[in-house]
Amino acid sequence: MKAVGILALLGCLVTAMESKVYTRCKLAKIFLRAGLDNYWGFALGNWICMAYYESHYNTSAQKMLKDGSVDYGIFQINSYTWCRSKRLQDKNHCHVACSALITDDLTDAILCAKKIVKETEGMNYWEGWKKHCEGKELSEWKKGCEVS
């Protein structure tokens, strides 16, 4: 009986820490509603493709870089320039806590991504986009999603 209780408790803990991974089409709809389609001239497919290669649609994805900064969330936005973590030198151009970029609610992450595109004049910020999405035929990414 004891073992069962412990297992149940562990199960609860694991569930609580579970991260949200969006499906491609759910994301496509959220992006469309948020005005990302053709934002700064980048069609919807660019955003879906980019998010896939940056985070595999995992909202809680985090990656520590060699310089000690961290890439956060679905768009892997870096703490050094764009959000506020505990480090004092962070520039926080998006005026947002980095922790707000790893929630299921994508509002802050999308606002920040828009700012990055605007301030850096394009999507070159994202290595995953440059490598896998730039200049490619991207309509496949929104195929079957009822967003066109």
Ligand X SMILES: *[C@@H]1O[C@H](CO)[C@@H](O)[C@H](O)[C@H]1NC(C)=O
The stretch near ligand X (CB under 6 A) out of 28-36, 53-61, 72-80, 84-92 is 53-61
Q: Which of residues 108-137 bind ligand X (CB under 6 A)?
A: none
Among 60, 81, 92, 103, binds ligand X (CB under 6 A): 60
The answer to the question of residue 62 lying near ligand X (CB under 6 A) is: yes
CA separation for the pair 59, 22 (Å, rounded): 8
Smallest CA-to-CA distance from 96 within 141, 5, 107 is with: 107
Residue number, 21 or 111, with CB nearest to ligand X: 21
| Residues 56 and 21: beta-carbon distance below 8 Å | yes
| Residues 116 and 82: beta-carbon distance below 8 Å | yes
Least distance to ligand X from the beta carbon of 127, Å? 18
Distance of alpha carbon 144 from its chain centroid, rounded? Answer: 22
**Residues engaged in binding ligand X (CB under 6 A):** 19, 21, 58, 60-62
